[in-house]
Structure 1
């Protein structure tokens, strides 16, 4: 029996706890080092935007949290442009991670995550196709980096990978925008913003997973019964 079945409540709480921890760490890094990051990026002049996008892409290739850089970019370029540049960097990094995984081969990349997690994702995508990939992008319990690596292992086509990644990143960046707006209005407001954003995203994710899982699992069961 898997951990998710033995401890269903824990399986739901852990992703939320990790999300709060990462956002809290990003807030601390932003407050402590925002001037340093801003100076480095601005030192490249008109190419600063390109450097910022490439830095974001790099953080999305390696398994390192990029939330702090997103907040820095929103502070430098404003909420909308900061999110846009971060989103572009995330897309570039996701594509590079997928193809690097294919070039490196399965043996090396499989060491980055457990075999059980990979099997779960493999089975989900193979049974449910592109919509299954989109559902995983919205699911908080599947790390962003892991899904990029698995996409490379499974030889998923570029276009389905691109549009599901693009849509799947939107709720996350809306949440980060809310966190930044909270920061700009004070620490107390920032805390409230974090809680509200996580609650809204968690509720939306729950609704999507509940509906899609029911539809997908029901469809799969019907096919299995017919066979």
Structure 2
């Protein structure tokens, strides 16, 4: 026997209040992001270097935390990754950049899980349809493809994965694996600017070649999975 699916006035009232709460939260989040974009100026490379040197090893933690904040907003993470190359060596800069961007990705994922699908559709704006079409009922390869896709910022993928049902573990694994070559290539650019050499130029070339190859492989695997998955 089918269960009674009728709703009570109390259920309707709770749904209305939940909708109001989500819309208010959306408004606060959007206003906060807009304020950050137009009012927060990231320190220059020279200023960051001076501040980090003054802090010692705590400066590394400060850089990771700042990077995490940037990764949760529409501010391009490119700025921070290139700055890491200017401030640190290639290896240390890549490690710190990956740590910072992954912390931001993790925070944004759980924020989106809390806000819900309908709210995040509004927040994602023009990026929403692209992110949802790739991530709906998808997992590892969809996240990896979007992470590597040129021109698509990190933040829509972060929030979209949380909102559109991507499981936590595949999301984190895909994010860390796919962000390493991208972060490495951007850090290499900063390292090349700071100290031009054949080694840093080669690192830039290798990094971007890796991004291209992984993008093609992830996209092909994601398309194959979409074709072979049973229709709902």
TM range (shorter): 0.5 to 0.7
Identify the structure with bigger relative contact order (alpha carbons < 8 Å, sequence gap 6+).
2
In 2 relative to 1, CA 92–199 (structure 1 residues): closer, same or farther, beyond 3 Å?
Answer: closer
- State whether structure 2 residue 171 is matched by structure 1 residue 154: no
Structure 2 CA distance for aligned equivalents of residues 52 and 90 of structure 1:
11
Q: Which residue of 1 aligns with 2:155?
A: 145
Structure 2 CA distance for aligned equivalents of residues 206 and 45 of structure 1:
37
In 2 relative to 1, CA 193–80 (structure 1 residues): closer, same or farther, beyond 3 Å?
Answer: closer
Structure 2 CA distance for aligned equivalents of residues 199 and 78 of structure 1:
18
Any conservation in 2 of the 1:57–1:90 contact (CA below 8 Å)?
Answer: yes
Instruction: Give the secondary-structure state (helix, strand or coil) at the position aligned to 1:113.
Output: helix
Q: What is the TM-score normalised by the length of structure 1?
A: 0.68
Structure 2 CA distance for aligned equivalents of residues 128 and 101 of structure 1:
17
Structure 2 residue ranges without an equivalent (≥5): 1-40
Paired residues in the alignment total: 192
Q: Which residue of 2 aligns with 1:39?
A: 50
Counterpart of 2:73 (choices 54, 57, 62) is: 62
After superposition, residues 115-126 of structure 1 pair within 5 angstroms as 117-126=127-136
In 2 relative to 1, CA 95–212 (structure 1 residues): closer, same or farther, beyond 3 Å?
Answer: same
Q: What is the TM-score normalised by the length of structure 2?
A: 0.67
How far is the alpha carbon of 1:204 from its aligned partner? 1.7
Name whichever of 178-187 and 88-97 sits farther off: 178-187
Counterpart of 1:204 (choices 196, 209, 213) is: 213
How far is the alpha carbon of 1:106 from its aligned partner? 4.3
Q: Which residue of 1 aligns with 2:84?
A: 73
Structure 1 residue ranges without an equivalent (≥5): 1-28
How far is the alpha carbon of 1:165 from its aligned partner? 0.5
Instruction: Give the secondary-structure state (helix, strand or coil) at the position aligned to 1:114.
Output: helix
How far is the alpha carbon of 1:176 from its aligned partner? 1.2
What root-mean-square deviation, in Å, do the aligned CA atoms of Structure 1 and Structure 2 show?
Answer: 3.4
Q: Larger C-alpha radius of gyration, 1 or 2?
A: 2
- State whether structure 2 residue 28 is matched by structure 1 residue 52: no
How far is the alpha carbon of 1:183 from its aligned partner? 1.4
Counterpart of 1:82 (choices 76, 81, 93) is: 93
